[in-house]
Amino acid sequence: MSQDIHQERILILDFGSQYTQLIARRVREAHVYCELHPFDMSLADIRAFAPKGIILSGGPKSVYEEGAPAVAEELFELGVPVLGICYGMQLLCHHFGGVVVPSGKREYGHAELRRQGTPGPLFDSFFVEGKSPVWMSHGDHVEKVPDGFEVIAATENAPVCAIQNVARNLYGVQFHPEVNHTPRGEVLIDTFVRKICACHGEWTPGQIIEDAIRRIRGQVGDDKVILGLSGGVDSSVAAALIHRAIGDQLTCVFVDNGLLRLGEGDQVMATFAENLGVKVIRVDAEERFLGKLAGVTDPEAKRKIIGGLFVDIFEEESKKITDANWLAQGTIYPDVIESAGAKTGKAHNIKSHHNVGGLPDYMKLKLLEPLRELFKDEVRAIGEELGLPHQMVWRHPFPGPGLGVRILGEVKKEYADILRQADAIYIEELYRSGHYEKISQAFAVFLPVKSVGVMGDGRTYEYVVALRAVETRDFMTAGWYPMPYEDLARISNRIINEVKGVNRVAYDISSKPPATIEWE
């Protein structure tokens, strides 16, 4: 991308906290570009990155342990503002001669932060009437702050919870401002990047699109590009963005595996081929997929079959486009972070789903990934800016294998057709009742068991459908959504009356953990 919207950027050094991605998202929400890198990033690379500010994340280690994660000694001499969060604050204190000790009482969960002294520029907008609820997650605490630092706040169990050295632009907090459980946390992070680091906030959807278009045109030139269009958010936004940049040089291959939601194949074609004028090759592969899945019940085996056959079909179609030089993918920033974490072992792993995976090396296509710097919420925002339908852009996550892993056990056309109808009724009712956008993910599951029922004056022996709805911020943990009884009753009644083959509906009230969000 061009320099414009990358000139002002924040560096986040990751010490292994489960919340590090949330720090990056909060910085981006302040419309400032940031990147997440391992804590041992070299000083030369940090200088080359030229950050306007540095954030040190939390982490599971103790600063006094042998071999504890640390940063380059000269980092604090670069003259840029630094904010340490949890372990990051302890490291900051330890580096400058403060004392960090194990807490007599560990502090996890909600706490009340109380102001001490006069807040400096980072904290003056954070407190309300001298206090603020925060989220804690630490086993050590700072017992003595270094010379030049002052204590700004404490909790009942931690005497040092916020510190500052205004002269050197060094700040630290023991709590986690990046999580939802710290209600005014976004104010603190916004203040750090916009006020302390003097960033203007140029990372906006319109600017991102303009910059991406320039970069795509610069990379691709007059070459042809192919993209595997799944109908999911990432591949859809990637297709719309690339088409905006290079028009007919893009060809999308849409493999309809027969495991999509009701009417989804036609919706994809209407949105891209008819409304946006994108060249889309639609491959009707339902029979091939269902044939390969016949008799297979193991979830992992089903995933491998569906993924492998997709690659085979995509390759078959790609060979027909003989003058293509580029393969476009909807890779997003969490995918990049996970990949880096797998290589270094330092970044935490977050489950991600690639739109196209495992393509053979001999395809010899260069990779185009215009979304690789963006989080999912940023992808959705630019999707709307590009004119994609709101319901497509903000649709709940859908697994790569589609209904193949929402039909428990063997996948059959009869089961897929039943599930499609039940799921469509469920989602329609969630939209109608206003619940859909409050829920992080909702879907129906087909259970291959029959139960006895009564319809009219006759006995029935038909299938069971389960409904799932969860609330989550990061999909690492999730709570079941408390659906009002009257809405559940209406949804159940419609499914049983309108979907032939179903006589019982159940609602899943399991949280993650111990359950997963998807059933398979």
8-state DSSP, 128? B
45's enclosing H/E stretch is helix 43-49
| Averaged confidence pLDDT in the chain | 90
Per-residue confidence at 362, pLDDT binned at 50, 70, 90? low
The answer, yes or no, to whether residue 3 has pLDDT greater than 90, is no
Q: In one letter, which amino acid is 309?
A: L
Residue 204 to residues 201, 341, 369, Cα–Cα distance (Å) = 8, 27, 19
Task: Check residue 353 and give its pLDDT.
Answer: 35
The pLDDT tens digits for 203-256 are: 999 999 999 999 999 999 999 999 999 888 999 999 999 999 999 999 999 999
Give the whole-angstrom CA distance, residue 100 versus residue 280: 60
How many of the other CB atoms lie within 10 Å of CB of 345? 10
Choice between 143 and 368, residue whose per-residue pLDDT is larger: 368
Task: Check residue 344 and give its pLDDT.
Answer: 41
The two three-digit tokens of residue 444, written as one number: 């129906």
The two three-digit tokens of residue 202, written as one number: 């140029």
For the chain, the distance separating the N- and C-terminal CA atoms, rounded to the nearest angstrom, is 39
Q: Is 178 a catalytic residue?
A: yes
Residue ranges, CATH 3.40.50.620, the chain: 205-393
Residue 389: alpha-carbon gap to chain centroid: 20
Q: What is the mean pLDDT of residues 363-389?
A: 92
The CATH number given to 414-507 is: 3.30.300.10
Residue 125 marked in a binding site = no
Q: What is the value of pTM for the model shown? A: 0.84
Q: Which of 31, 141, 176, 348 is catalytic?
A: 176
**Is domain 205-393 classified as CATH 3.40.50.620?**
yes
Residue 236 marked in a binding site = yes
The two three-digit tokens of residue 443, written as one number: 């879907």
Q: Which residues share a beta bridge with 10?
A: 34, 53
Q: Which residues share a beta bridge with 36?
A: 12
The two three-digit tokens of residue 47, written as one number: 């200088």
Give the whole-angstrom CA distance, residue 18 versus residue 40: 18
CB 171 within 8 A of CB 96: no
Give the whole-angstrom CA distance, residue 230 versus residue 364: 22
Per-residue confidence at 106, pLDDT binned at 50, 70, 90? low
Pick from 198, 199, 184: nearest CA to 28 = 199
Task: Check residue 343 and give its pLDDT.
Answer: 40
Phi, psi dihedrals of residue 196, rounded to the nearest 5°: -70, -45
CB 85 within 8 A of CB 58: yes
Give the whole-angstrom CA distance, residue 65 versus residue 79: 28
**Burial class for 105, CB neighbours closer than 10 Å (0-12, 13-18, 19+):** exposed
Give the whole-angstrom CA distance, residue 402 versus residue 437: 21
**Is domain 4-196 classified as CATH 3.40.50.880?**
yes
Give the whole-angstrom CA distance, residue 414 versus residue 106: 54
Give the whole-angstrom CA distance, residue 262 versus residue 423: 8
Residue 87 to residues 95, 131, 174, 176, 353, Cα–Cα distance (Å) = 12, 22, 8, 10, 30
Residue 235 marked in a binding site = yes
Q: Is 34 a catalytic residue?
A: no
Q: Which of 8, 34, 35, 86 is catalytic?
A: 86
Q: Where are the alpha helices (DSSP H) in 229-351?
A: 233-246, 264-269, 286-293, 299-320, 333-344
CB 217 within 8 A of CB 246: yes
The pLDDT tens digits for 440-496 are: 999 999 999 999 988 776 788 999 999 999 998 767 789 999 999 999 999 999 999
Pairing status of strand 250-256 against strand 279-284: parallel
Residue 231 marked in a binding site = yes
8-state DSSP, 30? T
List Cβ neighbours of 169 (8 Å cut-off, separation of 6 or more).
80, 81, 82, 196
Residue 511 marked in a binding site = no
CB 502 within 8 A of CB 422: yes
Q: What is the mean pLDDT of residues 102-120?
A: 79
Residue ranges, CATH 3.30.300.10, the chain: 414-507
Residue 234 marked in a binding site = yes
Q: Is 86 a catalytic residue?
A: yes
The pLDDT tens digits for 84-102 are: 999 999 999 999 999 888 7
Choice between 19 and 471, residue whose per-residue pLDDT is larger: 471
List Cβ neighbours of 101 (8 Å cut-off, separation of 6 or more).
140, 141, 143
CB 420 within 8 A of CB 408: no
Q: Which of 35, 107, 178, 462 is catalytic?
A: 178
Give the whole-angstrom CA distance, residue 329 versus residue 235: 7
Give the whole-angstrom CA distance, residue 232 versus residue 235: 6
- Helix 205-220 vs helix 233-246: angle between axes, to the nearest 10 degrees? 60
CB 289 within 8 A of CB 309: yes
CB 262 within 8 A of CB 403: no
